[in-house]
């Protein structure tokens, strides 16, 4: 189904019965990422799955989006569909959006679930810091012949397996999303929060999840052994155990 929000066509699906639960997918994913969970979740929840702008069957953003722009889309989706205090689960990018929404509009949702969530800068990654320093020096010292600066930057990000190399039309959106740090407003999240993290996540390491746990007042954290950036796919049984236990308590 489609809904028009702020002059954007947003694709979504709805299934199940019970308390409303909204699922927000990660970067370069779409709502189908959560399909393996639906047989279980739809037994106890009315599940709403949304293709975020720029992904799946939804329109591309009409301008470069910030986290707040995505949060506004989700907020409008909730209000237009008259969804009363849904639980909100966000994976990766979806988690960063969920944090923003909960921090500045906590009364809109009930419980919050963050799965390997975006929102914090991984400043401990020495290799990334050295790459940034190298590219800055390269721009200063070497003339930009034959678009050399851009080519070197792409090679650097490729060496890090960065999503930047494949952002396409969403380049400016990607830059805006990854430049934001939620540290200052994580303490404003007053909703009961479950943080689920893959112990072996190399995209967003576990130390980021632990920092979120320290900063969000009413939170708990669960880690899943031998799971990477997609715990809900790497260990579906354990992920659903933690999720259902949290939402039913």
Of 187, 179, 235, residue with least CA distance to 211: 187
The pLDDT of residue 160 is: 43
Q: What are the CA-CA distances from residue 47 to residues 34, 43, 69, 75, 236 (Å)?
A: 10, 10, 23, 16, 17
CA torsion angle for 53, 167, 171, 23 (degrees, to 10)?
30
Q: Which one is predicted more confidently, 157 or 19?
A: 19
How confident is the model over 66-84, as pLDDT tens digits?
999 999 999 999 999 999 9
How confident is the model over 21-70, as pLDDT tens digits?
999 999 999 999 999 999 999 999 999 999 999 999 999 999 999 999 99
Largest Cα–Cα distance in the chain?
62
Q: Kindly state the tokens that stand for 125.
A: 């990654």
Q: Give yes or no for residue 133 having a pLDDT over 80.
A: no
φ, ψ of residue 78 in degrees (nearest 5)? -60, -45
Q: Give yes or no for residue 166 having a pLDDT over 60.
A: no
The pLDDT of residue 146 is: 53
Instruction: Please report the DSSP string for 197-221 in residue order.
Output: EETT-SSS-HHHHHHHHHHSTTEEE
Instruction: Decide if 106 contacts 33 (C-beta within 8 A).
Output: no
Read off the pLDDT band of 169 (50, 70, 90): confident
Read off the pLDDT band of 130 (50, 70, 90): low
The pLDDT of residue 188 is: 98
**With pLDDT > 90 as the criterion, what percentage of the chain qualifies?**
78
The pLDDT of residue 15 is: 98
Q: Give yes or no for residue 131 having a pLDDT over 70.
A: no
The pLDDT of residue 121 is: 86
Burial of 97 (0-12, 13-18, 19+ CB in 10 A): buried
φ, ψ of residue 4 in degrees (nearest 5)? -95, 120
Range with the poorest average pLDDT among 149-153, 185-189, 241-245: 149-153
**With pLDDT > 70 as the criterion, what percentage of the chain qualifies?**
82
Q: With b meaning 16 or more CB within 10 Å and e meaning fewer, what string describes 170-183? A: beebbebbbeeebe
Q: Supply the mean pLDDT for the chain.
A: 89
Query: What domains can you pick out in the chain, each with its CATH number?
Result: 2-120+181-248 (3.40.50.1820), 130-169 (no CATH)
The pLDDT of residue 145 is: 54
For the residues 108-113, what does the mean pLDDT come to? 98
């Amino acid at each position: 189904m489609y809904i028009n929000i702020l002059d954007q066509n947003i694709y979504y699906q709805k299934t199940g019965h019970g308390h409303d639960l909204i699922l927000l997918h990660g970067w370069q994913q779409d709502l189908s990422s959560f399909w393996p969970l639906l047989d279980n979740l739809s037994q106890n929840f009315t599940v709403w799955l949304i293709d975020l702008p720029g992904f799946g069957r939804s329109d591309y953003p009409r301008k470069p989006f910030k986290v707040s722009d995505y949060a506004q889309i989700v907020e409008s989706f909730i209000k237009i569909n008259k969804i009363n205090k849904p639980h909100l689960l966000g994976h990766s990018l979806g988690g960063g959006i969920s944090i923003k929404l909960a921090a500045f509009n906590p009364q809109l949702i009930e419980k919050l679930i963050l799965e390997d969530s975006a929102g914090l800068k991984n400043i401990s990654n020495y290799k990334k810091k050295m790459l940034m320093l190298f590219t800055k020096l390269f721009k200063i010292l070497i003339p930009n012949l034959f678009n050399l600066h851009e080519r070197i930057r792409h090679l650097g990000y490729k060496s890090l397996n960065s999503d930047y190399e494949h952002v396409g039309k969403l380049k400016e959106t990607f830059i805006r999303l990854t430049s934001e740090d939620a540290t200052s407003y994580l303490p404003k999240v007053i909703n009961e929060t479950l943080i689920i993290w893959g112990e072996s996540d190399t995209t967003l390491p576990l130390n980021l999840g632990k920092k979120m746990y320290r900063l969000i007042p009413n939170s708990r954290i669960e880690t899943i052994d031998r799971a990477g950036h997609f715990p809900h796919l790497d260990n579906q049984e354990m992920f659903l155990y933690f999720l259902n236990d949290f939402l039913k308590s």
